[in-house]
Amino acid sequence: MRRLISLVILVLLPAAFPVARQRVHADLILTGGTVVTMDAERRILAPGAVAIRGATIAAVGPADAVTAAWEADSVIDTSGQVVLPGLINTHGHAPMVLYRGLADDLALMEWLERYIFPAEAKTVSPAMVRTGTRLAALEMIRTGTTTFVDMYYFEEEVARAAREAGLRGVLGQTVIRFPVPDAPTPAAALERARRFLEAFAGDPLVTPAVAPHAAYTLDRDALVASRDLAAKHGAPLLIHLSETEDEVRMVREQTGQRPVAYLEALGLLGPRLLAAHAVWLDADEIALLRRHGVGVSHNPESNMKLASGVAPVPAMIEAGVAVGLGTDGAASNNDLDMFEAMRQAALLHKVHTRDPRVVPARTALAMATIDGARALGMADRIGSIEPGKLADLIVVDMTRPGQTPLYDPVSHLVYTTRGTDVRMTIVNGRVLMRDRQVLSLDETQVLREAREMASRVRAAVAAR
């Protein structure tokens, strides 16, 4: 087994390992399992332990050392399980879980025009966004996502539902050229975005963001205004970028430039920008993204299902671009399971490049954790299990027949683990799921409300 048994105990808190027998108090200790830290040394502690105090990771180390130095009212045995940083889903549209499986396997325009657009026009509302986000939150908590990035309408409802569920979110109010359910014009959407940024400023879980939809669905002025609004508030900018070949063609026709150069000319490129998809990039564009510190969200399942293309992930990583993983909305995936996204990232690029060494398991796992945090500019707070970081972590079972035997936990996390193997989900020190029981949401009620909303979606599509 390739486990790295670390001999050193790293702690940032000075009182972490007092000399005497008196142990320091933590709120929660997870001990006995394999801790996959995703720290800079990629330490794997087996058996390892993590002590949590308040919203923060207080100590990480070999199980014996941590339990000798720390005590807590709640000590959880994680034997046979892996303790992992919570997964970071860097791109999606949470409420679209309500359109999951509504229509598949169609040409893109037919899918959009016959199903998704009519459904959105007739059913997107604050109530729909609330119901959909609760359902999405349930699925994310159950499958080990602790931070999600979102671009949708009525984003304040997404934010409230995320807060209620206990999930961390980087949540962007959409700005788009067309009239949409929450704004008749880009100007109105920008005003909504401004109010949203103000309302959630400083929230411990929600990072409010501005989400200009894409270079081809906004004019120059709206893109620049989005940039300025985000800059004024120090907020992230979320955008779809070069998802399809058609998009690149349209931007060239409209602006004479390829999308990345166009966004650079408008001053949108920078560490604040998170670009979703980034499928159709040439080498110059990859270099531009790197130079400006733009983060990328790779969405392999959506890109496959919609036949968008294969993003140049190995080249982006090689160039030093921070590449995270996303699921995209459940209408084009059809789930929010980041374990599937990891597996797909590992498999897709191997066959595409004809090189089985490409995107190894350790890279796919990094994309779903620390590299996702880097893409978001949040690597100082989330993405790895290190003292002083926020206590966002998950406990994953490793004992199913399909995970047996276990030679290498990193291999299993990517190649054989399902989201349904997650047993425990903790965000900001709060236990959102324990023994597969979600504690922060009423699952029965969420599912019932989602099914009721689905009957309206069905009617909307039938009546189109």
Is the Cβ of residue 135 or residue 190 nearer to a second copy in the bound state?
135
Residues 6+ away with beta carbon under 8 Å from 376: 88, 90, 147, 149, 170, 236, 274, 295, 324
Could you say which of 64, 77, 104, 442 contacts a second copy (CB under 8 A)? 104
Could you say which of 171, 306, 378, 422 contacts a second copy (CB under 8 A)? 306
**107 part of the interface to a second copy, by CB under 8 A:** yes
**233 part of the interface to a second copy, by CB under 8 A:** no
Could you say which of 71, 191, 282, 335 contacts a second copy (CB under 8 A)? 335
Is the Cβ of residue 29 or residue 323 nearer to a second copy in the bound state?
323
* Parallel/antiparallel/unpaired status of strands 56-62 and 44-53: antiparallel
**24 part of the interface to a second copy, by CB under 8 A:** no
**398 part of the interface to a second copy, by CB under 8 A:** no
**325 part of the interface to a second copy, by CB under 8 A:** no
From the list 83-91, 159-167, 256-264, 413-421, the region that binds a second copy by CB under 8 A is 413-421
The DSSP string of 140-153 is HHHHTEEEEEEEES
402 CA to centre of own chain: 26
Least distance from C-beta 127 to a second copy, angstroms?
15
**446 part of the interface to a second copy, by CB under 8 A:** yes
CA distance 88 to 140: 10
Is the Cβ of residue 37 or residue 303 nearer to a second copy in the bound state?
303
Q: Where are the alpha helices (DSSP H) in 200-281?
A: 220-233, 245-255, 259-265
* Sheet containing 206-212, strands listed edge to edge, beginning at the edge strand earlier in sequence: 87-89, 145-152, 168-175, 206-212, 237-241, 273-277, 295-298, 323-325
Is the Cβ of residue 291 or residue 458 nearer to a second copy in the bound state?
458
**350 part of the interface to a second copy, by CB under 8 A:** yes
What letter represents residue 119's amino acid?
Answer: A
**444 part of the interface to a second copy, by CB under 8 A:** no
319 CA to centre of own chain: 22
**4 part of the interface to a second copy, by CB under 8 A:** no
Least distance from C-beta 88 to a second copy, angstroms?
18
15 phi-psi bin (left φ>0, alpha ψ -120 to 50, beta other): alpha
CA distance 199 to 186: 20
* Phi, then psi, of 245 in degrees rounded to 5: -65, -35
Q: Kindly compute the dihedral angle of the four CA atoms of residues 209, 210, 215, 220, in this order, to the nearest 10 degrees.
A: -150
By CB under 8 A, how many residues form the interface with a second copy? 70
**309 part of the interface to a second copy, by CB under 8 A:** yes
CA distance 270 to 380: 18
Could you say which of 355, 380, 437, 464 contacts a second copy (CB under 8 A)? 355
**43 part of the interface to a second copy, by CB under 8 A:** no
Could you say which of 254, 399, 437, 445 contacts a second copy (CB under 8 A)? 399
Binding residues for a second copy restricted to 414-443, rule: CB under 8 A: 415-416, 418-420, 443
3-state DSSP assignment of residue 71: strand
Asked if 156 contacts 196 with a C-beta cutoff of 8 angstroms, the reply is yes
From the list 32-40, 41-49, 56-64, 331-339, the region that binds a second copy by CB under 8 A is 331-339
CA distance 94 to 36: 28
Report the interface residues with a second copy, using CB under 8 A: 1, 97-98, 100-102, 104-108, 111, 135, 138-139, 142-143, 301, 303-310, 333-337, 344, 346-348, 350-351, 353-358, 360-361, 399-402, 404-408, 411-412, 415-416, 418-420, 443, 446-447, 450-451, 453-454, 457-458
